[in-house]
Amino acid sequence: MFRRSFTALAASAVGLSIAVASEVAAQDAVALAIAPIPSPAEQATAKVIRKQGDEWVTLREGAGPFICVADDPAVDGFHSACYHTSLEPYMARGRELTAQGTTGRPNVEQRMAEIEAGTLEMPSYAFLHAIYATEGWSGDMEAVQRHQAVIYTPFATAEDLGLPTRATRGAWLMAAGTANAHVMITP
């Protein structure tokens, strides 16, 4: 009887430890996910999602202007991105296409074609913050090597914005004239 009770208690303790560790890991993932947003008020209200296996799960609900994608621990390095909620149809479609096996450039091209056809909603402009670290990242936020800001400006041209179309320090226009045109701001 004592052995069964002890075994049950031990199993409960292990289950509780795993649940607590999982909760702490989720809290850490949320803290890292919202790190790209400069405003603490917007950090506090951001929705946070993360890929777990083949599924996308919500780590934290939020009613603020940003949705943050937590780093995927299965991928070496570190990447977290927070985008304005108006970009969600575009981003959700990208996740859907990826789940169907369409990745990389074909994924972007498919979404651009859908925007041009009027079947995928894209805002006139929207903001995205991202931070990156290379392979072997240890978890130290001081080691994050790149912070990048992106302003989506569908169909904008270099002439419209007065920006170069090649990577420079500062602002430049990527994918000029397309549905995926966006200003890259790299410090």
Containing structural domain, residue 33: 2-152
* Structural domain count of the chain: 1
Cα separation, 113 vs 109, in Å, equals 6
Whether 69 maps to a domain, the answer reads yes
Whether 179 maps to a domain, the answer reads no
Question: pLDDT: is 55 or 13 the higher one?
Answer: 55
Whether 173 maps to a domain, the answer reads no
Cα separation, 5 vs 10, in Å, equals 8
Q: What is the DSSP letter of 99?
A: H
Q: Give residue-wise pLDDT tens across range 42-84.
A: 999 999 999 988 899 999 999 999 999 999 888 888 899 999 9
The pLDDT value given to residue 178: 95
Whether 28 maps to a domain, the answer reads yes
Q: What is the DSSP letter of 154?
A: T
* Amino acid of residue 56: W
Whether 182 maps to a domain, the answer reads no
Whether 162 maps to a domain, the answer reads no
Cα separation, 76 vs 51, in Å, equals 14
Cα separation, 157 vs 172, in Å, equals 11
